[in-house]
Structures are given as structure tokens and as C-alpha cells.
Chain A
């Protein structure tokens, strides 16, 4: 497969003491929906702006379909951006906004008219051509920004938290719509977000960033199931951390002395942190006879119960005092537990990941 965008050792420093992006190397596949995910200030926008040409890397190379353009101005790149604040031109109506890119490229007037009309229709804004951005709702402005970028048929579309300003319902609807548009036009999307759920549901692959570093790249499943370090495990979804050391037989000795199986390739004697998702933990009555011996078993006591409607969270205190959270679907076949119940928790040998601490 061709790399739509190939980023090699890219670093961006502002002044001498801010390193917004730190030696990032990354290939983005043609046609994929790629998300850059990370907390605010981790360098996502800066990375995107360097691909757009609105910022130039201090070091490194950026290629789009094999063409080096790290230092090329933005107007000479086959990419377009949907800006975080939409950045619609307030003095132009919807039609003029959408036509801007084509006009700048001196496309034939009749062609512009036709393509602009198509683009406006594609984002369901027919009839609003003559409105100014200030006369549109947030969601509509968002669609104009999208149409304005897509009408140019860029090789790569860059989106900087495009749904950040919308309320939850609209955001969810737009997520689906964006996904549909992407598979329809087949253009590579690079999508910046700090919302892990959004990244998980929309992306083919995700790159997780923190402090300017690219920590992990993988499919949503890989990122969620096999986080490479504590930060990724913690940032994506909810998880329990349990400290331990690797025993001679490869099992993990956790505080309190119990031995459990986990994934990971840390050498014997290494200090590790287990990450274990709440939904992977089953709760059994203490002394239950039918426990699967292939699952790790740890005794504990229910110390808290939170009722969420569709699920129930239990906080369990292990024998050494470690607290873990377990999440149960709210279905009739699962027995309800009460605070104070003596229980045994079990989890699959592949469920916990041992991260070198």
C-alpha cells in the first residue's frame, strides 16, 4: 500500500524551550481514517499544521504520496484543512466560502458553479447558499467548513477537532456522517481529537501522542487491548493498575504475594504494572465450585457499588488492600453483589497486560 503521508523524524520547536512535536515518525496509509489522539497541548494541532504547511518542521521530512514538501507553502500542497474553529470567511456567503479554493486555482467558472452546488448538496445545505456564516448554526458552519475543504478533492483531508464545539447529540450524528463521507469520497482523513471514544469509533488507526511524542500507533483494538505503556492504557478507556514483579516462571507476583498470568515480555525480576480493564473482571461468590482454572483468581471484598443503569460498577478490595474496579452488564443472569460480600474475582490469562514500569 502507498503511504499517503510519510512523516520521518519530525520535530517542531517553538523558541528554545517548547518542543511541541518531538521526533515523530509515522506512515499514514492511502484511504484510511487516521486519528491523532492525545490530551490538550500534546502537539496534535502542531503536527497537523506541519502537514498542512501552516507550520514548518524544525527537523525531519514530510512526504505526501512520495513528494517531499516539508518546507512547501500551504497553497502548493494537495491537502486541505477543516479548522478547529471552522475559520469560515465571515464576509462571504456559503457559496463563496465553498468556491474559494476552486477560484484560487482558477478553475473554470461553470465547473466551479457545478462543483460548489454538488458540495453544498452533499453536506445537506441546499437552500442556504446565500447565507453568511453568522446566520448558520454551529453544525451548519461545520458542514460548510467540510464542503469548503472537500470540494477541492484534496489527496489528504486534515481535521482539527472538527466536532469539538458541537453538543453531544449533534456530535454523535456528525461522527457517523463524517465516517460515511470519508468512505464515500475515499480520501485519506487525518483527524485530530482529544476524545478517546471518538477516536475509537471512527478510526481505522490511531496514533496516541503525549508531550509531543508519538507513543503508539495501531488499530482501535490494538490501542485498547494492548497499550504499550501506562499513559496509553490510562488515557484510552478505564483501567485498573496493579503493581507487581515478574516471577521466575513468568507469572506476575502482585502485592500480597498472589501469582497471576498476564501478557507481556518483561524479563524475570522486572517491576511491572498490570493494566486490567474493568469489564474483563468477573465476580464470583467466595468458594464457588465451578471456577475456570484457566482464569486468574484473586480473593477480595466488595467495598462500593455504583449503579449506572446499563451497567454496574463494583469496587473490590483485594487482600493486600489494592482496590480494583469491575464492570458488570446489567443483565438478569449476572448475580447482584452487595457491599461487604466476600468474593473471588477472575480474569482471563490474556486479559491483563504487564507494562514495564
Chain B
């Protein structure tokens, strides 16, 4: 307000404009300050701390001994056992992202193309309903379903297609898919809902059949949703803890559980820290590559 009042006339006044711009940027800074502070205190600082810890020797109880430095924990990442845990985690997260996309896209497309807004909202609520109860509780429910007497197991035995899945990798995979599918559906829905259908009609008018129009227009234009959904599924899948802990067995340890083990029974905080930094790096690299690749064609 004051800036405007100071202006003598409508004419451009470079000095005043610069001042206004500066004030604007300061205002922006102050608005964002609480968030900056929050991120620094609860994200950047802990990150620095665990990075430092990952280079420290450990005491008998597993706590880091600051002042004695070593690269052991980073070298230990190359152990076959550790490598297989990392590989399995990345693979499962990737597979889960892919399957979520394959299942989520048609579903999101279907919701987004319902004519009645009431119907669309109703279907979206259905997607969100699982969130009304605790994730842990829902994962326990899966445990019951997948156990020897569980419904899923019974159906599998009756049809002869599968047996008891609990404590196996498929169980973990099923749990992850179930848990994170909504995170794929929602951004996809948003992207498809915002699509300019005129463009699809233009493609049809220009001799594209329905399939070609989808591949050439609908799919590339829903890319923002595909990227957002994939990241929202990949990252939590990679760091999953509850799902593999409850549904997986000792042979299906994933990174999340492995890290927790280091801090608890493994009594090796520094190694846990090194693993944590690693998982973060994988997520960041994957995200950046994905954004870059998507960004080019957008």
C-alpha cells in the first residue's frame, strides 16, 4: 500500500520500482521464514548430524564415538548382504511404482471422465476411505488375510493358484501396492481431469484413431500426474518399514527395516546412519532423473 502511495504519477520511476521489488522480495522471504526455519531445524540439521555420525567409530553399545573417524561403514555398504538388501528394496519400489501406474492410470482415467461431478467426488472419496483408519491397523488386517486361515490364502488354495503368502516377498509387494496406490491415483486424477479434451478431439480430427490419440496426446499431457504419482509411490515404498516388518519374513528385509535393526539390535548407529544417507541419495537421484526425463518431453 505505502509503496503505491509514494508513487508520484503513473510514469515509470525506476528507483521506486526497484524499491518496490526489493520490498516484495523481503516480504516473500518473511512469509517463507517459518517454513525455512522448520526445514533447517528438522531436516537439514538432522541430515548433517547423521552424515557426521556415519563417519564415526561406534562404541560397545552401538552409539557413535565422535572424535574417532572411520570409513568402515561406507565400505561396509559394499557387502553382498547389504547390497542385496539395497537391490531388493529398489527393485520392489520400482516394481510397485510400475504396477501402481498400470493399475492406477485406467482407474484415474475412468474417474476423471465420469460426466457427473457427484459421481467423480464419490469415487474419489472411495479412494481416500482407507486413510480414515490407521495404516498399522490396515497392515495388520492384511496379515490376517494372508495368514494360513486368511481369506486370500483360502481363495488361493481353492483355485490352486497360490498358497500362504504371509512372510514372503509377494506379501510385502501386495502390502506396498495396497498402501501406496492412492498416492498414484490422486495426482493422475488431477492431471487427467485438467486435460483439455479439445486437444484429443483435434487429434481425432487429424486422423488419429482413439488409441493413437491417447498415446500422442492424452498420455503426454498427463505426464505431470505420472511424474508426481510415481515419486509419491516410489519414495515411501523405498523407505517402507511397517509393511515389510509386518508382512515380510527375515528373508525379505528391506532397507527401512535394515536401518532400524542397526539402531536397535544391531547396535551400530554409524552404519545405520550411512544406510540412511544412502537411501536418501538414491531417492534424490531417482527423483532428479525422473523429473529431467519428464521435463524434456513436457
Contacts and interface: CB of A to CB of B under 8 A. Distances in A.
16 contacts: A54-B204, A73-B209, A75-B206, A75-B208, A79-B205, A81-B205, A83-B201, A88-B202, A89-B199, A89-B202, A90-B199, A91-B220, A91-B297, A100-B206, A104-B208, A105-B207
A75 B216 CA distance: 14
A152 B207 CA distance: 10
B215 to A, nearest CB: 11
B204 A75 contact: yes
B221 interface: yes
Nearest to B217: A89
B194 to A, nearest CB: 12
Interface in A41-88: 52-54, 73-75, 79-81, 83, 85, 87-88
A75 B207 CA distance: 4
A213 to B, nearest CB: 26
A207 to B, nearest CB: 22
B242 interface: no
Contacts of B198: 83, 85, 87
A104 B205 contact: no
Interface of A: 52-54, 73-75, 79-81, 83, 85, 87-91, 100-101, 104-105, 148-149, 152
A75 B212 CA distance: 11
Contacts of B216: 89, 100
B202 A81 contact: yes
Interface string B214-247: 0011001100000000000000000000000000
Nearest to B221: A91
A96 to B, nearest CB: 10
Contacts of A80: 205-206
Contacts of B217: 89
A90 B216 CA distance: 12
Interface footprint category on B:
10 to 19
A341 B30 CA distance: 72
B17 interface: no
B75 interface: no
A74 B297 contact: no
B207 A54 contact: no
- Name the 9 nearest CB pairs between A and B, nearest first: A101-B206, A104-B207, A87-B202, A87-B198, A74-B204, A75-B207, A104-B208, A81-B205, A100-B206
B298 interface: yes
A91 B200 CA distance: 13
Contact of A152 (B206, B221, B297): B206
B212 to A, nearest CB: 6
Contacts of A83: 198, 201-202
Contacts of B220: 91
A52 B205 contact: yes
Contact of A101 (B196, B201, B207, B298): B207
A108 to B, nearest CB: 15
A143 to B, nearest CB: 16
A54 B199 contact: no
B203 interface: yes
A256 to B, nearest CB: 55
Contact of A104 (B201, B206, B221): B206
The CB with the most chain A CB atoms within 10 A, among B198, B212, B220, is that of B198
A100 B208 CA distance: 9
Contacts of A149: 206
A149 B203 CA distance: 11
B204 A100 contact: no
Nearest to B202: A87
A148 B216 CA distance: 16
B267 to A, nearest CB: 53
A79 B202 CA distance: 12
Nearest to A80: B205
Contacts of B298: 91
Nearest to B209: A75
A152 B206 CA distance: 8
Interface in B111-128: none
Interface in B56-107: none
B208 A87 contact: no
A233 B216 CA distance: 47
Nearest to B213: A75
A104 B202 contact: no
Nearest to B206: A101
Nearest to A154: B205
B221 A74 contact: no
Nearest to B200: A87
Nearest to B212: A104
Nearest to A101: B206
A74 B201 contact: yes
Nearest to A91: B220
Given A73-B209, A75-B209, A104-B212, A87 B201 contact: yes
Contacts of B212: 104
The CB with the most chain B CB atoms within 10 A, among A54, A75, A85, A148, is that of A75
